């Protein structure tokens, strides 16, 4: 098949598409244009290079122009910017950024992989020296040079997303006192608020100052220091600023070329990654695709989807039918000792679009409690109320988070339910898991809710029940309460004394039961229900309740810890 394929943009989507296209067609003419000097680099590793975790700059380079060209016989042109697409004549206008020369190049098919660029809002002072953005290796070189040579003592990171938090961690690791300024009331907006609150508490534990709900109004210099001024009246002096406000699609070519765009400027594509022009495909951070859970238009700036889309676009260009069925947005980020992960729909999205759902919270050990080193893991599972189809999950913990979120992502792709999670047979040995893996436990708890065996109330719903006279009952031991506190106004009845205390409970009232993580609350709920008393189990127990308030649960010397539940 004789075809001339032009790929605009390298890195994840473009370089993957080029390599896949060559594997499918040895005789095609393939040209890859890259505006920068690197066709493929590990942009997700840039904060860790800045922080010194990745010691060698060369380790960021996945491949070079020379190596890629030789292996795949592809015409790679770096420092070459495509400035226009002449669709009627099927030609590109290309500018050599070194010589300034401009020329035209014909094409049969195009794969656009322009990626996304950092948002640079028109804030006064945003171009001051000492304010950095992070998109590519030269950006990371500038930030690293500032740290190595300028020896800053303080920094402000504007934006609490993935890049912002990774930069905060690595700046702290370099000994820089760091403040994160975020316009929203939480970091990592894909997380639901009570899950993000766990991250807030951990950031504060590690010395990061959080300024949430703060919109930056201006940057200025004052007596040698940079100053970040917010609309809420905050003045934050510092030695350097990293702007990680977010990214927007690099859509200049597509827009000028008349391709159809979504409401936020992303390039609209079908399942074959084809744009509104049948000879032009688009992949990666700049495209609008379909959300696998909701079926609604979605956008994600993640390397995994970009790689898959690049393969699919190349397949279709070369005559193979291949479809991209949708995105889950599966992601994970390291925040000091925590791993924070999510997949599928969050609760905020489902509420916004009126999609019915239920939620469960579980707190399990990362592996068997009797094997040293087990760490707590919080799992929020979201599922449909009728059949229990899995809609999404968010997990926070120190160990084992990655494999659990991947299991849930796989389950969503397979259309599985919470009942399937109950039955999953997962590898077990004490250093790695428990006989009932945390994913099994999430399945058990969620299945109980779907079947009606458990009636759960969420941390943010309980005040309404209290208003109508519900009684709070703390089922933990005295030692646990002394160590970790309790919810004000709660009646204290340890679980093992509950059956003997039934006569003291008012059968005309509802009871909100809680323990450390929810297991004893469920047992108590079954006891009360079968004795004619109305009750609710506080989902996720006291641990979820206080986590939502950005507190960290102090462990008790009592034997009835979360590990034993």
Catalytic residues: 44
Of the CA atoms within 13 Å of residue 460, those in its CB half-sphere come to 8
DSSP percent split of the chain into helix, strand, coil, nearest 5: 30, 30, 40
Can you give the three-state secondary structure of 205-269, one letter per residue? Answer: HCCCEEEECCCEEEEEEECCEEEEEECCCCEEEECEEEECCCEEECCHHHHHCCCCECCCCCEEC
Q: Rg (Cα) of the chain, in Å, rounded?
A: 27
CA 298 to chain centre: 14
Residue closest to 497 by CA, chosen among 471, 464, 523: 523
Contact of 302 with 409, CB cutoff 8 Å: no
d(CA 516, CA 521): 9
d(CA 535, CA 533): 6
Q: Which residue has the tokens 């006291």?
A: 542
| 287-290 vs 267-268, strand pairing mode | parallel
Contact of 302 with 321, CB cutoff 8 Å: no
Q: Which two tokens stand for residue 383?
A: 């599922």
Contact of 8 with 112, CB cutoff 8 Å: yes
Cβ within 8 Å of residue 171, ≥6 positions away: 51, 147, 155, 157, 178, 242
Q: Which helix (H) or strand (E) holds 226?
A: strand 225-230
d(CA 523, CA 519): 6
| 358-365 vs 376-383, strand pairing mode | antiparallel
DSSP 129-191: TTEEE-SSHHHHHHHHHIIIII--SEEEEE--SHHHHHHHHHHHHTT-EEEEEESSSSSSTTS
Residue closest to 409 by CA, chosen among 350, 359, 342, 351: 342
Contact of 536 with 465, CB cutoff 8 Å: yes
Rounded (5°) CA angle 546-552-554: 105
d(CA 150, CA 419): 56
Q: Which two tokens stand for residue 439?
A: 């994913």
Contact of 117 with 286, CB cutoff 8 Å: no
Enumerate the β-bridge partners of residue 334. Answer: 339
**Secondary structure letter of residue 318 according to DSSP:** T
**Secondary structure letter of residue 499 according to DSSP:** G
Start-to-end CA distance of the chain, whole Å, equals 62
């Amino acid at each position: 098949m004789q075809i001339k394929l032009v790929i605009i943009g390298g890195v994840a989507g473009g370089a993957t598409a080029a390599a896949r296209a060559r594997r499918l067609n040895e005789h095609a003419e393939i040209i890859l244009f890259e505006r920068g000097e690197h066709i493929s680099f590990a942009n997700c590793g840039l904060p860790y290079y800045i922080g010194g975790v990745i010691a060698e700059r060369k380790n960021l380079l996945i491949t070079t122009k020379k190596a890629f060209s030789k292996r795949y016989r592809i015409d790679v042109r770096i420092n070459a910017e495509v400035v226009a697409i002449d669709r009627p004549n099927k030609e590109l206008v290309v500018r050599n950024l070194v010589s300034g020369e401009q020329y035209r190049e014909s094409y049969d098919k195009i794969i656009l992989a322009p990626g996304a660029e950092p948002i640079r809002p028109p804030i006064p002072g945003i171009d001051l020296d000492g304010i950095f953005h992070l998109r590519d290796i030269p950006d990371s070189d500038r930030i690293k040079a500032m740290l190595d040579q300028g020896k800053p003592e303080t920094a402000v990171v504007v934006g609490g997303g993935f890049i912002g938090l990774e930069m905060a961690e690595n700046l702290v690791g370099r000994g820089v006192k760091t403040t994160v300024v975020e316009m929203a009331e939480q970091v990592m907006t894909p997380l639901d608020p009570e899950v993000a609150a766990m991250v807030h508490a951990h950031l504060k534990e590690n010395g990061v100052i959080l300024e949430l709900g703060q919109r930056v109004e201006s940057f200025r210099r004052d007596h040698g220091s940079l100053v970040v001024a917010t609309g809420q009246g905050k003045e934050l002096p510092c030695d350097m600023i990293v702007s990680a406000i977010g990214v927007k699609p690099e859509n200049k070519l597509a827009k000028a070329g008349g391709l159809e765009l979504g409401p936020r400027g992303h390039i609209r594509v079908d399942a074959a990654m084809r744009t509104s022009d049948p000879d032009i495909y688009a992949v990666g951070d700049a495209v609008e695709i379909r959300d696998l859970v909701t079926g609604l238009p979605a956008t994600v700036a993640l390397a995994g989807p970009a790689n898959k889309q690049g393969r699919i676009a190349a397949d279709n260009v070369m005559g193979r039918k291949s479809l991209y069925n949708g995105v889950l947005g599966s992601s994970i980020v390291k925040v000091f000792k925590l791993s924070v992960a999510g997949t599928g729909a969050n609760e905020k999205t489902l509420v916004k679009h009126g999609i019915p759902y239920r939620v469960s919270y579980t707190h399990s050990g990362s592996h068997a409690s009797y094997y040293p080193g087990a760490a707590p893991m919080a799992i929020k599972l979201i599922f449909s109320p009728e059949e229990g189809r899995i809609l999404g999950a968010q997990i926070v913990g120190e160990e084992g988070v990655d494999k659990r979120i991947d299991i849930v992502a796989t389950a969503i792709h397979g259309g599985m339910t919470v009942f399937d999670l109950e039955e999953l047979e997962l590898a077990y040995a004490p250093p790695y898991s428990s006989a009932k893996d945390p994913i099994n436990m999430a399945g058990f708890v969620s299945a109980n809710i779907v079947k009606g065996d458990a009636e759960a109330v969420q941390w943010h719903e309980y005040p309404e029940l209290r208003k109508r006279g519900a009684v709070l009952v703390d089922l933990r031991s005295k030692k646990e309460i002394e160590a970790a506190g309790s919810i004000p106004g709660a009646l204290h009845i340890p679980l093992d004394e509950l059956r003997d205390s039934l006569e003291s409970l008012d059968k005309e009232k509802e009871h909100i039961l809680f323990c450390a993580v929810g297991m004893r609350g469920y047992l108590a709920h079954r006891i009360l229900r079968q004795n004619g008393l109305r009750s609710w189990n506080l989902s996720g127990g006291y641990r979820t309740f206080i986590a939502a308030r950005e507190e960290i649960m102090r462990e008790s010397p009592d034997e009835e810890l979360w590990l034993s539940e």
